[in-house]
Amino acid sequence: MMMKNRTIALLFLILALPLSNRAFGQDDKYEYNPIQTVVPWLTIAPDSRAGAMGDAGAATAPDIYSMHWNPAKFAFIDGKYGAAISYIPWLRSMVPDINIAYLSGYYRFDKKQVMSASLTYSSYGKIEFTDEGGATQLIVNPNEWAVDLGYSRLFSENFSGGVAFRFIYSNLTHGYPAQGEDTKPGLSLAADISAYYHKEIELLGKNGIIALGGDISNIGSKMSYTESYSDFIPMNLRLGTSFTYEFDRFNKIAIAIDLNKLLVPTPDSTITEEQSISVPEALFKSFADAPGGLMEELHEITYSYGAEYWYNNIFALRAGYFHENAYKGKRQFFTAGAGFRMSGFTIDFSYLMPVTLNHPLARTLRFSISFDSSALRKATQVSR
């Protein structure tokens, strides 16, 4: 089969210390060994705000896109309800028609409880299946999607928790045989467990907020496209912190740092029964199963650094950096973006700039638009 085309200061200090290749003495004894999962699009930043902040979102200020980053943040969102949609033309330097769309919303029942939902849809355009001679056998339009339902609750003045449940559908082959086997759509059920803490402080006579967040996402069943093989979905541990500082009533700035680690087995050429490992076993073994030992485990952590400036809660500027070890995929890029808020609506965009030339993620744009009842109230207060 062939396819054509296509974040108290100590914590800040610890998280801000880049675990760089040089810091860990990276040398030729390590081999290129990225962790591979099915439906990797579940880890792609769906919104322009976080996309402009180096994919940092575990502890940033709550927004309508919190489902992806940390559902627990919804308990601290100011509004009664809100909805948002975003669009990502993905891998455009390689193919012209891969797109990811994301729809998200929330509704507050009372002061402590918030329900949320989201839909992610990924389309891969037109793909041709050909035989060994190159003759077209089937033309399909592969697609994948996930539906999420979340619940967030405020446990104290400063602490909240959240859970989310996810149904994942992946139809890549439309039944076309692979290696002599019939194929089928991949299905999986998964869940997220998250926590969020924030505290208002005073620094140099000005107000500030320190926040911590954590989310274990996509804890779920393996996915199979054939009867004989199944693979892990991207179960992931995300930890983050952020600090927001208000210079005055018009100007504030926030910085955020996230760490991510996939909780799935590390490929090892000496292990052939990898797929026989259960999901609970994988969650724990993923911290100590890398063939290269501790150093390789540390290499599997990705780092997101982001900054955001708001003027009068109307106009925002953002920038960030994402780092993945060269032996684990080498996604290393700078990001930038902006946002504009008016009458409850917010329009955001972001742009991705890879460190290396001719990178598949080059020129990645994200566009997002949202409506939040809290933003509408703030806009009314500003106008008064």
The residue ranges of every structural domain in the chain are: 2-383
Q: What is the pLDDT of residue 269?
A: 58
Q: What is the pLDDT of residue 20?
A: 38
CA-CA distance, 137 to 178, in Å (whole number)? 13
In angstroms, the Cα distances linking 208 to 73, 157, 203 are 17, 16, 7
pLDDT at 179 exceeding the cut of 80: no
> What is the band of 25 on the pLDDT scale with cuts at 50, 70, 90?
very low
Mean pLDDT of 362-384: 72
Helix ranges, 17-169 (H): 48-51, 66-69
Q: What is the pLDDT of residue 384?
A: 45
pLDDT at 91 exceeding the cut of 90: no
Q: What is the pLDDT of residue 139?
A: 81
Q: What is the pLDDT of residue 251?
A: 97
End-to-end CA separation in angstroms for the chain: 65
Spatial CB neighbours of 247, under 8 Å, sequence gap ≥ 6: 206, 253
Spatial CB neighbours of 280, under 8 Å, sequence gap ≥ 6: none
Strands (E), the chain: 2-4, 81-89, 99-108, 113-123, 127-130, 136-140, 143-154, 159-171, 186-203, 206-220, 236-246, 251-262, 302-311, 315-323, 332-342, 345-354, 364-372
Mean pLDDT of 360-365: 84
CATH code for the part of the protein at 2-383: 2.40.160.40
CA-CA distance, 109 to 194, in Å (whole number)? 19
Contact assessment for residue 166 and residue 220, using Cβ atoms and an 8 Å cutoff: yes
Block residue for tokens 């890879």: 354
pLDDT at 57 exceeding the cut of 90: yes
Q: Comparing 42-56, 211-225, 255-269, which segment has the lowest mean pLDDT?
A: 255-269
pLDDT at 144 exceeding the cut of 80: yes
**DSSP, res 247:** S
Which string of b and e fits 119-150 if b means at least 16 CB within 10 Å? ebbbbbeebbbeeeeeeeeeebebbbbbebeb
- The β-bridge relationship of strands 315-323 and 332-342 is antiparallel
> What is the band of 14 on the pLDDT scale with cuts at 50, 70, 90?
very low
Residue, of 5 and 288, whose pLDDT is higher: 288
Q: What is the pLDDT of residue 22?
A: 38
Block residue for tokens 């208000």: 246
Residue, of 230 and 53, whose pLDDT is higher: 53
> What is the band of 11 on the pLDDT scale with cuts at 50, 70, 90?
very low
Mean pLDDT of 307-324: 97
Average pLDDT for the chain: 87
Comparing C-alpha atoms, which of 362, 359, 339, 343 is closest to residue 63? 339
CA-CA distance, 258 to 239, in Å (whole number)? 6
CA-CA distance, 37 to 303, in Å (whole number)? 19
Residue, of 35 and 178, whose pLDDT is higher: 35
Mean pLDDT of 208-216: 97
pLDDT at 304 exceeding the cut of 70: yes
- The β-bridge relationship of strands 81-89 and 99-108 is antiparallel
339: amino acid identity, one letter: G
- For the record, the structure tokens of 10 come out as 């100590």
> What is the band of 9 on the pLDDT scale with cuts at 50, 70, 90?
very low
CA-CA distance, 306 to 224, in Å (whole number)? 36
Sheet of 127-130: strands edge to edge? 2-4, 127-130, 136-140
pLDDT at 13 exceeding the cut of 80: no
pLDDT at 1 exceeding the cut of 60: no
pLDDT at 86 exceeding the cut of 50: yes
Residue, of 333 and 377, whose pLDDT is higher: 333
pLDDT at 19 exceeding the cut of 80: no
Mean pLDDT of 200-227: 93
Residue, of 203 and 16, whose pLDDT is higher: 203
CA-CA distance, 306 to 57, in Å (whole number)? 9
CA-CA distance, 263 to 165, in Å (whole number)? 18
State the SS3 of 249-289: CCEEEEEEEEEEEECCCCCCCCCCCHHHCCHHHHHHHCCCC
Mean pLDDT of 198-206: 90
The reported pTM is 0.87
pLDDT at 168 exceeding the cut of 90: yes
Q: Comparing 64-73, 103-112, 127-136, 167-176, which segment has the lowest mean pLDDT?
A: 127-136
pLDDT-above-70 percentage for the chain:
88
Spatial CB neighbours of 27, under 8 Å, sequence gap ≥ 6: none
**What digits encode the pLDDT tens for the residues 272-290?**
455 678 899 999 999 998 8
